[in-house]
Structure 1
């Protein structure tokens, strides 16, 4: 299981209605994008971080494992703003790019924490069946659900193939590593195609009629949670207006 999925199934907000968490996370995300980076996005990022580690109960180590790869993309996106191209020399350090880089990084990190607040507290199995009530076509949710389940099977296949190749010294040198990676890609493609074919035959043999019916546990919406969410969003907007230069 991926770290993010493990956190989604073990956090304190696991039994809350996905709509409550969506309102909170998407509301914070809108504020992170609409408000100024300082102090608006900074306040939003701190609020999302406190909610993830506090009420949601996500462990700091699990949070770091989930956020480290997206943070790498954020840092990569900041680097081009620190250089100037086209002058003499052709590429040079631009000392005036720091404000723009920090603004971009701050807003991106705040938005990332807002999305993580929802993704790390809401399993996909709780979300997809409820999307149909919002007008999403059943075919879309079913394809997403099947792809989600196939993902773990393919990851397990990659792990098994990689362990077998490592046991045969397939990663000893650069040529053998390249040969092993190409073979791994071909083997995973064949396995994915075969699993998809067997899945199609299995559904057909069970009388698949265009809809997969699953039991969705009833989760009542908490009015106090909605009131607290609205109060938090209003407080962030008021704080930003008071602290803005």
Structure 2
């Protein structure tokens, strides 16, 4: 199972009706986008503590989950904070001059970045709370209640299934390469990784062909019963 599925199935809210969690998610998103930064900080802290309690995980583990999206968020905020001007009429404090170009922090951009930071973190925490407490079968049931096209639901199910096939095949190939000292040196590691990618595509296509054969044997009519 994926770590997301493990956490969702062991959460204290696993038996809560999915439509209630969905409505809570919508309310939290509205608050995250409409409240001032101070309220967003409090909302963020509350959702972090609630998620840790529901999932039975430590605060440090949760903060590690935030590291990857936080890196991209901070990198994107640099474009808001710093402005590039072509010989501005008003001097820009703490700026760097490169010929006629002036690069420096913009006071309006700093305020905008500050609001964007806490708004994004609060929305991200709300998304974590919903996704990590809603098992996949509940999510499919919720999407079905929203009257999404059946074809789209089938595509979601097949994509979800092939994630596990992809991980299973990659782990099997990697283990076989490791037993043959395929990653004993950086050079061998790069060659083994290239072979893994090539073999993975062939193995997944083979598993897909096997699945088609299995469905034909079971007289598959083109529709999955959801």
TM-score (norm 2): 0.80
**Equivalent residues in 2 for 1:17-96, closer than 5 Å:** 17-36=17-36, 38-54=37-53, 56-60=54-58, 62-85=61-84, 88-89=97-98, 92=103, 94=105, 96=107
Distance of aligned partners of 1:175 and 1:99 in 2 relative to their CA distance in 1, 3 Å threshold? farther
How far the C-alpha of 1:65 sits from its partner, in A, is 4.9
How far the C-alpha of 1:66 sits from its partner, in A, is 3.8
How far the C-alpha of 1:79 sits from its partner, in A, is 3.3
TM-score (norm 1): 0.75
CA RMSD of aligned residues (A): 2.5
Q: CA–CA distance in 2 between the matches of 1:159 and 1:202?
A: 24
How far the C-alpha of 1:200 sits from its partner, in A, is 1.9
Correspondence for 1:205:
217
Is 1:28–1:48's contact at 8 Å kept on the other side of the alignment?
A: no
Larger Rg: 2
Number of aligned positions between the proteins: 212
Q: Which runs of 5+ in 1 are unaligned?
A: 215-245
Q: Which runs of 5+ in 2 are unaligned?
A: 87-96
Deviations 1:87-123 (A, max 9, x none): 6225855374543333222111111000011101001
Q: CA–CA distance in 2 between the matches of 1:176 and 1:91?
A: 47
Is 2:55–2:133's contact at 8 Å kept on the other side of the alignment?
A: no
Correspondence for 1:127:
139
SS in 2 for 1:209: coil
